[in-house]
Amino acid sequence: MPKKQNTFSSLTVLRRRLANRAVHAGWRWMQQAGAVTAQAPGRLRFGAIGHGTRLAFPQGTVFGEPWIRLGDYCIIGEQVTLTAGMMPDLDLGTEPMLVLGNGVVIGRDSHVIADARITIGDDTFCGPGVYITSTNHSYDDPHQPVGKQWPRSEPVEIGPGCWVGTGAVILPGARLGRNVVVAAGAVVRGEVPDHAVVAGAPARIVRRWEPETGWQPPLRTPAPVPIPDGVTPEQLRGLAQLAEAEGAQTL
């Protein structure tokens, strides 16, 4: 009797392993097949979608695609909301409402809500859970629910080369310059100059670079050393193994 139980137990484990592998293989296939590109746009008809751009599967809420333009080599993570207009099936005119430059990265679970024009410059990277909106609720009338009052909209502009950290919020009217760093969880409104680091809610400038003085306050860590041209991954792994061996000898 124990032998039979062991046989049944082994078969159960085997079935679970096979089912697990099948589920993961199926999910990987769905991720590949469900991704949106210029060659395979699915049901989405963007105003433009550049070469090498990819929207990961599953996509979040997407509407107003004719007024959304995506540049080349953009990476849009899973469950990212991209919307133009306050609701689907509106005629928003001839000009785009949401424009992403080349090489823009939008992390998973982020939301970009363009009821007025939003422009994100080339090579700007956004971490997961970022919220960028050109519309905000108004609460002028104290006798009406906030959600029923007509919202306010202002264009948003994010310059090239910016980094927007996890969970940051970019509010209507914000204008970020070139190579701005937005700390995780920051809430940004108003204008941010080039080469600035902002943090907090509301966000304020905590560090800035000027040609005459460099970074102020000064950076606390040295700049990373770039990998020399021509170094292969195999050589890097060899150097890492050598460093580990030397470290072990010193212990």
pLDDT tens figures, 4-32:
566 667 778 888 888 899 999 998 888 88
pLDDT tens digit string along 32-78? 888 999 999 888 999 999 999 999 999 999 999 999 999 999 999 99
Give SS3 for 198. Answer: strand
Hey, CA dihedral for 15, 21, 25, 30, is it positive or negative? positive
Residue 221 CA to residue 225 CA, distance in Å, equals: 12
Section 160-164 average pLDDT: 97
- Decide the pairing of beta strands 191-192 and 187-188: unpaired
Q: Determine the pLDDT at residue 2.
A: 55
Query: Bridge-partner residues for 152, per DSSP?
Result: 136
Backbone angles phi and psi of 97, in degrees to 5: -105, -30
User: According to the model, what pLDDT value does residue 95 have?
Assistant: 93
Average pLDDT over residues 223-231: 82
Catalytic residue among 24, 51, 111, 137: 137
Q: Which residue has the higher pLDDT, 131 or 239?
A: 131
Strands 131-133 and 204-210: unpaired
Helix residue ranges per DSSP H, the chain: 2-34, 233-250
Mean pLDDT value across residues 153-170 = 97
Q: What is the pLDDT of residue 234?
A: 84
Count how many residues are written for the chain: 251
Tokens of 229: 């041209």
- Mean pLDDT value across the chain: 91
Active site residue 24: no
Q: Whole-angstrom Cα distance, residue 7 to residue 179?
A: 62
Where does residue 108 rank: exposed (0-12), middle (13-18), buried (19+ CB within 10 A)?
middle
Q: pTM for the whole thing?
A: 0.84
pLDDT for the residue 242: 83
237 vs 37, which has greater pLDDT? 37
Give CA angle at 83 (45, 186), nearest 5°. Answer: 140
Cβ neighbourhood burial of 71 (10 Å; 0-12, 13-18, 19+): buried
The reported pLDDT for the residue numbered 4 is: 57
pLDDT at residue 27, as a whole number: 86
